[in-house]
Chains A and B, each alone.
Chain A
């Protein structure tokens, strides 16, 4: 059973518009959430994160929103640029001190920003 789910395998957005990528989780012990970006033939790179004590974290064009009651988080990219085209992975960590160091990943969403 997947504890972190990204239900949209792909998303296409026009350049300049907002991209919204969604992620749901089932484990209430998760207390830290991260988004990673992955280009073809490269490793994932960290993009932005949020602690469960917050409901929003912003970094430039990227904002992550966390709704703990719904066990849902989303990544907003405004404005979207062609260079944002990549696979985006949602990840979560938390629980006991050991498992807090582990990340559980979603299956990823391929974002395509059309010029």
Chain B
């Protein structure tokens, strides 16, 4: 069955370290997204990609970067982790349909920056 996976599921790191969160989907979807979930804010878009070599900034992109070298993967990198980046991170993918725009989500990565 097609799926979307994230790794690691839990990560503890220190301020200033570089961290990369992996996202892999086997839906063969063109569109991939990274969100962070924080209490009171719901899901906020960090970066997104509409295809290989395409990346775009979302609402809360400062301090984050992504790259898209193939259809299946969209890794999220925190260049220099900050305590404000402690959050739960979700990756999602979708294929634009004429009638709906459902995104499929991964299980999430809980990141703690000390």
Residues of A in contact with B (beta carbons under 8 Å apart): 4, 6, 9, 32, 34, 36, 41-46, 49, 51, 89, 91, 93, 98, 100-108
Contact between B96 and A107 (Cβ–Cβ < 8 Å)?
no
Contact between A89 and B42 (Cβ–Cβ < 8 Å)?
yes
If A41-B108, A44-B90 touch, does A103 touch B101 (CB 8 Å cutoff)? yes
Among B4, B42, B100, the residue within 8 A (CB) of A105 is: B42
Contact between B100 and A32 (Cβ–Cβ < 8 Å)?
yes
Contact between B94 and A42 (Cβ–Cβ < 8 Å)?
no
CB distance from B85 to the nearest CB of A (A): 19
How many angstroms between the C-alpha atoms of A105 and B44 in the bound complex?
Answer: 7
Contact between A43 and B96 (Cβ–Cβ < 8 Å)?
no
Contact between A101 and B42 (Cβ–Cβ < 8 Å)?
no
Q: Which residue of A lies closest to B105 (CB)?
A: A43
Interface string of B16-38 (1 = CB under 8 A from A): 00000000000000010101000
A91 proximity list for chain B (CB < 8 A):
43
How many angstroms between the C-alpha atoms of A70 and B100 in the bound complex?
Answer: 22
Contact between B100 and A101 (Cβ–Cβ < 8 Å)?
no
Q: Which residue of B lies closest to A94 (CB)?
A: B101
Q: Which residue of B lies closest to A42 (CB)?
A: B107
Q: Which residue of B lies closest to A90 (CB)?
A: B42
CB distance from A52 to the nearest CB of B (A): 12
If A43-B108, A101-B31 touch, does A107 touch B42 (CB 8 Å cutoff)? yes
Contact between B45 and A102 (Cβ–Cβ < 8 Å)?
yes
How many angstroms between the C-alpha atoms of A104 and B96 in the bound complex?
Answer: 16
Q: Which residue of A lies closest to B45 (CB)?
A: A102
A106 proximity list for chain B (CB < 8 A):
42
A107 proximity list for chain B (CB < 8 A):
40-42
If A100-B96, A106-B42 touch, does A44 touch B105 (CB 8 Å cutoff)? yes
How many angstroms between the C-alpha atoms of A104 and B33 in the bound complex?
Answer: 12
Q: A101-B31, A102-B48, A104-B45 are in contact. List 18 more A-B contacts (CB 8 A).
A: A6-B42, A34-B100, A41-B107, A43-B4, A43-B92, A43-B108, A44-B43, A44-B90, A46-B103, A51-B100, A89-B43, A101-B94, A102-B33, A102-B58, A105-B35, A105-B44, A107-B42, A108-B42
